[in-house]
Structure 1
Amino acid sequence: MTTESLSVAVERPHSDVLSRLIDDQVASSLAAKDPTLWGPEAEPEASVRLGWVDLPRASRPLLAEIDALRADLRQEGLDHIVLAGMGGSSLAPEVITATAGVELTVLDSTDPSVIRRAIDDRLERTVLVVSSKSGSTVETDSHRRAYLRAFADAGVDGPSRIVVVTDPGSPLAKIAESEGYRKVFLADPNVGGRYSALSAFGLVPAGLAGVDVADLLDEAEAVTPTLRLDSSGNPALLLAACLGGGHNEGHDKVALGKGASTNTGFGAWAEQLIAESTGKLGKGLLPVDLGGTGGTTPGWARPGDDVTSVALGSPHHSQAGQIITDGPLGAMFQLWETAVAMAGRVIGINPFDQPNVEEAKRAARALLDQPPASSDAPPPAYVDGAVEVYGDEDLLRGATTVRDALAAIAAAVPAQGYLAVLAYLDREVDGQAAALREALGGRAHFQVTFGWGPRFLHSTGQYHKGGHPNGAFVEITGAIAEDLDVPDRPYTFGQLITAQAAGDLAVLRDKGLPTLRLHLTDRKAGLAQLLEAAGKVSS
């Protein structure tokens, strides 16, 4: 591995911003874990969030533990690894295993069909990795409970099949100790979730699944000396100057497209890193993950003057002003974490907090604690085929069809704003919902993003509520065909995902942002109807 294997190429390097970063010795100060880089208000948080800087070396002791446990599990015939985790606890392992071509089942949904399908798949050979930094993430705790019941029903010793990754002293660490789980990996508490790719949160699930995670640390460590240089040859400084400098010139969106890279799904990981790190105080960069479809899709075809285009790998179709970042996965993790932290300084925010993430969680908890009676639920504004349409009267004035509703929410997108499609559905069975981003964005003059709920709540959800207040939101929910209990909890998975969707939408409405909810009474027919209507909407 050589430092030349990591590259950042730009046409307009924002030389003034780059010069300031070099003169202020930001790279070397970050390498020294200087918490003052982001100002006095951020210093308390930054002082306990810079452990990621040393992870390429500090994570080395994990390797032997991972290898030993994997060997023991394989000897017992346990070769199906399921990861229960949200946000930073799932996104990095998903990218790592996908890039390596190794199977890992990722549970980051509360849709009952997703949970049931995972549990029904090779339970006799399954090990569940429960991964949560706080140890209290409601989705992950619900997954743990469901698997414990399934193991018990199958006559399997559940605790022997559970591996935990969490912070020291967390509620999950205490449960694991008291219930005798198979193994507990305690992560560095001074590493935030979205900066944890090279910590136990990224390495343990991927390593147990069969990835040689030592390669990731080698790749990251090889480029670390370059990322510490206060010079224009530092690719992290160059990327930070483009992202931060672009933001301050009005380019508040970053379109991420996969070029000729072997890294699979990197955009989804970078999406969380960018959105949660920068989207706050009415500022930030909105990542638009183009899903690896290259430079011909909306976002690159007509990026507009509010977008910075970034290719994750050499692009299939180059574009004037486009940034190109390329390198092996471990090096790319280290590059982007370093660059986004630096960009936070340029933008003027604390890249290590996420002050708005808790808002939707509180709203969902309130609905679970005191669920509204079915008779109190507001009726839809109207029904069109397999779709119930919910929205403000002013938004839907004169609308009678799904196409009308989509046209109305598109018209509500402010100048240089964006439209977010939020699908609280089954990512596998209802996968065609992701095509709505391209269908709606094909002729739009604004950017369209797509997120699976509740997964995106731990990612772009922070930006939606704390970033630039120029978004409009389409939420898609679906009928629950067969619900599933959350053991020892007074609610089901169906009630949980319904509360999460309702809570998120309520917070967006309270902030005065345009919202539309489309409920599919028949998921298959409803999605077909949505896609057809979306293709006919012009803006």
Structure 2
Amino acid sequence: MSVTFGEDDLTELAAETAGRLAAEGVPQALASGDSRLWGPEAQAEAAVRLGWLNLPHTSRELLPEIDALVRRARAEGLDHVVLAGMGGSSLAPEVITASDDVPLTVLDTTDPGQVRRALSDRLESTILVVASKSGGTVETDSHRRIYEKAFRDAGIDPASRIVVVTDPGSPLEQTAREAGYQVFLADPNVGGRYSALTAFGLVPSALAGADVERLLDDAAEVLPLLSRTEGNPGLDLGAALGAAAAAGRDKLVIEDGLSEINGLPDWIEQLVAESTGKSGKGILPVVGADPGDAEDELLAGIDTDGVVTVAGPLGAQFLVWEYATAVAGRVLGIDPFNQPNVSESKENTAALLDRAELPVGTPLLVDGPVEVYGELPGDGEAKDLSDVFTRLLEAIPSDGYLAVMAYLDREAAFDAPYAEGASFEEMTDVWSGADAATLRGMLAIRTDRPVTFGWGPRFLHSTGQYHKGGPQNGAFLQITGAVENDLEVPGKPYTLGRLQLAQALGDLGALAGRGRPVVRLHLTDRVAGVARLLAAAREV
């Protein structure tokens, strides 16, 4: 495992900061789980959030039970593994299985279309992992209820198909045990975004076919380095991230290029954004973007050249990035283990769901299949969607960013028709032309500021904390879509479509209340709407 630097100035800054931290005894104190490192206000939270430092050893206790579950699933022909989880409960398994090239269907959405797609795929051979640390995550609870009904309607006993991962004493543990589901309890002294090597990361990944014992082996190999004052990759990385951000380079562009690790930047995005984005401070991860020339950007490469290059196997990467994020928190003077603004959008959503009608408002502008809501920056009325994009880009502060947040089906683009006999490159072009995520890159080339993209509500458990708690220099573009084939949530007075829109409006209110530019685009026809978004972006 290695961390190297490609700039002399950063090398010097990181070395100076790491030396100061070493002189303060930080490496040894952190490795031993000292909760005082982030100040007296953070100590109580830190005292119950440092269990991740021991996971390379303690999580081995789970392996025999996990192996037994895997053998049972294989014997019963359950080869379609579905994971219902949000944030830390889904991002690590997604990286682990993608890197091991084994299939895992991840449900971290409230989009009815995306959930219906999973339901219609081999239900007869599906095993569902329901993962929630709190046991009360509304998205995951909805998925569990929907799958329970689907299994029963198909004549399948849900107890034979549902596995639960949660913290001891959570409401989900009680519900699961009453229903006869197999339950894996995670370490309660590990926060969600630090839980890659707990049952949350290991259970679904092993079911899908990943080698989770190797993950623990790789993490255990790097663990002794994390108490050192020199040759400590976690200290070096954390010192660089924290010191660079404190000096103004607080936009972390993460690339994984040709790395054999697949998708790690998405996991790092949550870890770093949710851990550091608070008290008006923070490091903003930028994923899927080419590095720009902005002075506040810092390029990190995963096994590929960057201003900071982090090389090593996945299990070690998990542990080193966690350690580095905790160190960066100390450098920045924040508590890396709390998330004070995450509940705000959740509370807004709950309040909206109690209303008879959701307050969608009146559109300012209609451009074909796209309705525009909100308060546009700039003077006068916008004439079309291109003008909306132009005004948002112009409203980004000189030290700010644009966040695109899409409450849509993130797999819908793969439904786009292509010509028979099309090459893979031609199919990729078709998919890209039908993907809302393509908008990020199209807007990014029209500004010198970073542009991020998040699928809602997935990003609420990730960059959502940064958007509300970090530096208030963002501009926000939210995308919602009409629902044609909604899905009831059994036992609840709402559908998935209503929940999805309530989540979008709830977060919209939280962002607008901070006085930042925020615009909602509603696609009255999703396919035509995405096409119009991309066409309008070309006209900017």
- Quick check: TM above 0.5? yes
In 1, the alpha carbon distance for the partners of 2:113 and 2:436 equals 16
Matched residue, 2:426:
none
Matched residue, 1:293:
none
Q: Normalising by structure 2, what TM-score?
A: 0.94
Q: Report if the CA contact (8 A) 2:273-2:462 is conserved.
A: yes
Matched residue, 2:373:
390
Q: Report if the CA contact (8 A) 1:277-1:340 is conserved.
A: yes
The amino acid that maps onto 2:4 is: V
Matched residue, 1:285:
283
Q: Report if the CA contact (8 A) 1:414-1:470 is conserved.
A: yes
Query: Following superposition of structure 1 onto structure 2, how do residues 32-47 of structure 1 map, counting pairs within 5 Å?
Result: 32-47=32-47
Q: Report if the CA contact (8 A) 1:356-1:465 is conserved.
A: yes
Question: Partner of 2:402: helix, strand, or coil?
Answer: strand
1:535, distance to aligned residue in structure 2 (A): 2.7
Match of 1:351 among 315, 336, 351: 336
More divergent stretch after superposition (404-413 vs 338-347)? 404-413
1:410, distance to aligned residue in structure 2 (A): 1.0
More divergent stretch after superposition (58-67 vs 263-272)? 58-67
Question: Partner of 1:287: helix, strand, or coil?
Answer: strand
Match of 1:466 among 459, 465, 469: 469
In 2, the alpha carbon distance for the partners of 1:246 and 1:81 equals 41
Question: Partner of 2:271: helix, strand, or coil?
Answer: helix
The amino acid that maps onto 2:150 is: A
Match of 1:481 among 484, 487, 499: 484
1:338 aligns with 2:288: no
In 1, the alpha carbon distance for the partners of 2:121 and 2:337 equals 37
Match of 1:313 among 287, 295, 303: 303
Q: Structure 1: state its 5+ residue gaps.
A: 291-296
Q: Report if the CA contact (8 A) 1:261-1:326 is conserved.
A: no
Question: Partner of 1:432: helix, strand, or coil?
Answer: coil
Matched residue, 1:252:
250
Q: Report if the CA contact (8 A) 1:311-1:325 is conserved.
A: yes
Query: Following superposition of structure 1 onto structure 2, how do residues 133-152 of structure 1 map, counting pairs within 5 Å?
Result: 133-152=133-152
Matched residue, 2:72:
72
Matched residue, 2:30:
30
Q: Structure 2: state its 5+ residue gaps.
A: 414-433
1:270, distance to aligned residue in structure 2 (A): 0.2
Matched residue, 1:189:
188
Matched residue, 1:219:
218
Matched residue, 1:294:
none
Call closer, same or farther: CA 1:387–1:67 in 2, change over 3 Å. same
More divergent stretch after superposition (517-526 vs 482-491)? 517-526
1:8, distance to aligned residue in structure 2 (A): 3.4
1:411, distance to aligned residue in structure 2 (A): 1.3
Q: Report if the CA contact (8 A) 2:376-2:388 is conserved.
A: no
1:371, distance to aligned residue in structure 2 (A): 3.7
Call closer, same or farther: CA 1:350–1:109 in 2, change over 3 Å. same
Q: Report if the CA contact (8 A) 1:164-1:184 is conserved.
A: yes
Match of 2:391 among 408, 411, 435: 408
1:443, distance to aligned residue in structure 2 (A): 2.7
Q: Report if the CA contact (8 A) 1:396-1:408 is conserved.
A: no
1:210, distance to aligned residue in structure 2 (A): 1.0
In 1, the alpha carbon distance for the partners of 2:462 and 2:356 equals 26
Q: What is the identity percentage for the equivalent residue pairs of Structure 1 and Structure 2?
A: 57
More divergent stretch after superposition (153-162 vs 424-433)? 424-433
CA offsets 1:446-498 (integer angstroms, 9 cap, x no match): 10000000000000000000000000000001110110100010000000000
Question: Partner of 2:211: helix, strand, or coil?
Answer: coil
The amino acid that maps onto 1:288 is: V
The amino acid that maps onto 2:301 is: A
In 2, the alpha carbon distance for the partners of 1:367 and 1:501 equals 10
Q: Report if the CA contact (8 A) 1:84-1:131 is conserved.
A: yes
Q: Report if the CA contact (8 A) 1:427-1:452 is conserved.
A: yes
The amino acid that maps onto 2:330 is: R
The amino acid that maps onto 1:191 is: V
In 1, the alpha carbon distance for the partners of 2:456 and 2:144 equals 19
RMSD between aligned residues? 1.3
Structure 1 outlier segments of 4+, above 2 Å: 5-11, 393-398
In 1, the alpha carbon distance for the partners of 2:537 and 2:23 equals 49
The amino acid that maps onto 1:225 is: P
In 1, the alpha carbon distance for the partners of 2:458 and 2:378 equals 27
1:422 aligns with 2:412: no
Matched residue, 2:416:
none
The amino acid that maps onto 1:21 is: L
Call closer, same or farther: CA 1:377–1:196 in 2, change over 3 Å. closer
Question: Number of paired residues?
Answer: 516
The amino acid that maps onto 2:406 is: A
1:73, distance to aligned residue in structure 2 (A): 1.3
The amino acid that maps onto 1:280 is: K
1:170 aligns with 2:170: yes
1:377, distance to aligned residue in structure 2 (A): 4.1
In 1, the alpha carbon distance for the partners of 2:495 and 2:316 equals 41
Query: Following superposition of structure 1 onto structure 2, how do residues 228-239 of structure 1 map, counting pairs within 5 Å?
Result: 228-231=227-230, 233-239=231-237
Query: Following superposition of structure 1 onto structure 2, how do residues 123-142 of structure 1 map, counting pairs within 5 Å?
Result: 123-142=123-142
Call closer, same or farther: CA 1:393–1:7 in 2, change over 3 Å. closer
Q: Report if the CA contact (8 A) 1:219-1:329 is conserved.
A: yes
CA offsets 1:366-424 (integer angstroms, 9 cap, x no match): 01111436xx6421001011111112155573212110011111111112100000000
